[in-house]
Amino acid sequence: MQTFQSLLAKRLSDALPRAGLPEAGELTQATDPRFGDYQTNVALVLGKQRGENPRALAEKIVAHLDVSDFSEPPAVAGAGFINFTLQPAALEKQTLDILRDERLGVAETESPRRIVIDFGSPNVAKPMHVGHIRSTVLGDALARVGKFLGHEVIRDNHLGDWGTQFGMVIWGWKNLLDRQALQRNPLAEIVRVYKETHELASRDPKVREACRQELVKLQAGDKENTDIWNECVALSMQDFERVYRLLDVRYDLQCGESFYHDRLPGVVDRLLKAGIAEISEGAAVVFFHDDSALADKPLIVRKRDGGFNYATTDLATVDYRFNELKADTIWYVVGAPQTLHFKQIFAIARREGYTTDLRHIVFGSVLGEDRRLMKTRSGENVPLRELLDEACRRAREIIDEKNPGLSEEEKNNIAEKIGIGAVKYADLSQFRTTDYIFSWDKMLSLHGNTAPYLQNAYVRIRSIFRKAGDVAPKIDKLVLSEPAEIDLAKRVCEFAEIVPQVLNGFRPNVLANYLFELANSFHAFYEACPVLRSEEPARSSRLMLSDLSARVLQRGLDLLGIKVPERM
C-alpha cells in the first residue's frame, strides 16, 4: 500500500522531466493545515539553483503534474511552494485500506539489512543506574522499529565483564565478603567489597599489589579466581535480567568483553603486520597522520606491559560482527563522551577494509530537578531498579485514587504499564542528543505529552467498545464529513509515513510526537463527533475510525516499547 506522501513524490518526480527540470527539493507534510496536507519546496530550490523566478517554475511544474485521482488541484503559494490537499473520497478509501491491513499501511523495506545494535552495556559487579536508561530504551526502540520495517536485527548487550576492577573484586571477595549479605542483596555486597578494597589499596601498597596479582591469576585462568569471577557475572546477570524484565527489553546476544579476550593478541598482530599500528615507546599505537581531526589523538591498542584495553576489545568486536555475524551495519547506542573513541575505532576499521556501515548513535544526559546529573543525596548514581520500582509505586497511587474498585492484580499490572511507560516515554519523546530533566509529576501526568496521556486515549477508545458491547465495526464503507473526523483520518494515514522516518537520524521522538498529535486529534474528534449516539452510517464509520486510532496508538507505543492497559 502506497502512502499519500509516496504517491505525491512519485507524481512530482514524473512531472519534473516533463517540465524540463531536474529532481530537487523535498515533499513533506504541510506545516500549516490551512495551506493543505502536503507541500514541496522544489520550485524554490530550483529557482535558487537556476536564478529563475520560483513562482513561475512552480506554475510550470503544476502544469505537468497530474494528481487529480486523489488530490485537489495543486496550489502555488507564497514565494513558490506547491501545496496539495487530499480529496475526501481518496482519504476515505485509504483509511479503509489501512483498517483492513494488519501493518496499518506501513510497508516493509525493499532493501533489508542485517543490523547489529549495541545498546545497554552495563558493567558486571555494579548495579545498573539511571545513566543506563537512555541507551537501553533508545536501543530497544530502534531495534523494534528496524525489525518491524523488515530488517534483520541482532540485539547485542556488550557487557563490561572484564578488566582491572576484578583484581580488587576477587581480593575483596576472599578477604572481606559477608556471605549472608551476599545472599540478601548480591550486588550491594559485591559493590561494598569493591569499594572497601579500593579504599585499602589506595592506602596500602601491599593490598594494591595483592589485587594486581589476583588479576594476573584470573587472566592466566586460575580456577579459584575464575570461579569467583563466574559467580560475580552470574549474580550480576540475575540483577540485570530483573531490570530487563521490567523494561520488557530482550537481547539476542550478551557477548561481554571477556568473550573477546582471547582474540586481542591477534587484533594487535594484524594491525602491526598491516602497518596500521606501530611500536612507540614500547606500546602498540595507531596514529592518524592522514586525518586532521584525529592527527594529534593516537590510540594505544597494546600497553607497554603487554596489557590490552577496551579499544582493542572494540576492534575485535567489529571483526566478530563483520566476519561472523555478517552485519551490514552496526549501531552503537553509546553516550556522547565516547565520540572520540568511536571516531578512532571507525577510522581503524575503514583502514582494515571493513565495509560494514558503522554508526555511533549519541544521546544526552538525564538531569535532576537541579539541572545536574541525576544523583542520590549521597552523590551516588541512582540505581535503575529503584527508579523503576518508584515509577510503578507512584503509578499505583494514582490508580488507587482513580479506580479503587480494581483487583490487586489488575492494579499492579496497570501500574507497571503506566509507570514503566512513563519513564520510557519521557526519554524517547526528547530528541536523543538533548539533556532532559527527570520530573515524576510531569511524566506521570494525564495531561500533556506523556505516556499516561496516550495510554488514556487508548483506554477511552476501548471504553467506547465496552459500552457498545465490544461489537467489531463493519468494514465496508467509511464516511468522513465532519472536520474533526477528516483530521483524525489524515492523522491515521500519516502513521505509515512516520514510522520509516524513525531510522533517518535515529529519532524515536518523531514517532512519539506523532502519537501525541494523534491522541490530540482523537480527543478533538471524541468531543466534536458523537460515536454511539450517532445515526447510521455515521455510527459504524466513527466506530471504525475509533478502532483504527486505538490500533495505531497501540502499535506505535509498542514500537517504543510501551504497553497499553485496557483500563486505567
The residues, any chain, with a CB within 8 Å of residue 147's CB and separated by 6 or more, are 153
* pLDDT-wise least confident of 13-17, 115-119, 398-402, 472-476: 472-476
Task: Mark which of 202, 220, 244 sits at the end of a domain.
Answer: 244
Residue 300, in any domain of the structure = no
- Asked whether residue 163 carries a pLDDT value surpassing 90, the answer given is no
Residue 12, in any domain of the structure = yes
- Asked whether residue 377 carries a pLDDT value surpassing 70, the answer given is no
Q: Write the pLDDT tens digit of every residue in 43-58.
A: 999 999 999 999 999 9
> Whole-number mean pLDDT of the chain?
94
- Domain span at residue 545? 451-559
> Distance between CA atoms of 520 and 534, rounded to whole angstroms?
21
Mean pLDDT confidence for 203-208: 95
Q: Write the pLDDT tens digit of every residue in 471-515.
A: 666 677 899 999 999 999 999 999 999 999 999 999 999 999 999
Residue 42, in any domain of the structure = yes
| Same domain (yes/no): 456, 555 | yes
Mean pLDDT confidence for 149-178: 95
Residue 318, in any domain of the structure = no
Residue 234, in any domain of the structure = yes
Task: Mark which of 51, 69, 86 sits at the end of a domain.
Answer: 86
In percent, how much of the chain has pLDDT > 90? Answer: 85
The pLDDT value given to residue 370? 79
Task: Mark which of 244, 266, 298 sits at the end of a domain.
Answer: 244
| CB 162 within 8 Å of CB 229 | no
Residue 257, in any domain of the structure = no
Sign (positive or negative) of CA dihedral 213, 217, 223, 226: positive
The pLDDT value given to residue 305? 86
Give the angle subtended at the CA of 414 by the CAs of 421 and 146, to the nearest 5°: 35
Residue 299, in any domain of the structure = no
Give the pLDDT band (50/70/90) at residue 376.
low
| CB 375 within 8 Å of CB 382 | yes
- In SS3 terms, 279-294 reads as EECCEEEECCCCCCCC
Residue 360 forms beta bridges with which residues? 332
- The enclosing H or E element of 33 equals none
| CB 122 within 8 Å of CB 191 | no
Give the pLDDT band (50/70/90) at residue 166.
very high
The pLDDT value given to residue 379? 63
Q: Write the pLDDT tens digit of every residue in 325-375.
A: 999 999 999 999 999 999 999 999 999 999 999 999 999 999 888 788 776
Residue 201, in any domain of the structure = yes
Hunting for cell 579500593 — which residue is that?
198
Give the angle subtended at the CA of 190 by the CAs of 206 and 388, to the nearest 5°: 145
Hunting for cell 550491594 — which residue is that?
188
In percent, how much of the chain has pLDDT > 70? Answer: 98
Going by their DSSP bridges, the two strands 299-302 and 283-286 should be labelled as antiparallel
Mean pLDDT confidence for 311-318: 97
> Distance between CA atoms of 11 and 318, rounded to whole angstroms?
42
- Asked whether residue 288 carries a pLDDT value surpassing 80, the answer given is yes
Q: Any idea what DSSP says for residue 306?
A: S
| CB 268 within 8 Å of CB 277 | yes
> Distance between CA atoms of 187 and 237, rounded to whole angstroms?
10
Q: Write the pLDDT tens digit of every residue in 387-442.
A: 999 999 999 999 999 889 999 999 999 999 999 999 999 999 999 999 999 999 99
The pLDDT value given to residue 229? 96
| Same domain (yes/no): 77, 169 | no
Give the pLDDT band (50/70/90) at residue 35.
confident
Q: Any idea what DSSP says for residue 126?
A: S
- Asked whether residue 278 carries a pLDDT value surpassing 80, the answer given is yes
| Same domain (yes/no): 457, 555 | yes
pTM of the full predicted structure?
0.94
CATH number of the domain bearing residue 527: 1.10.730.10
Count the domains in the chain: 3
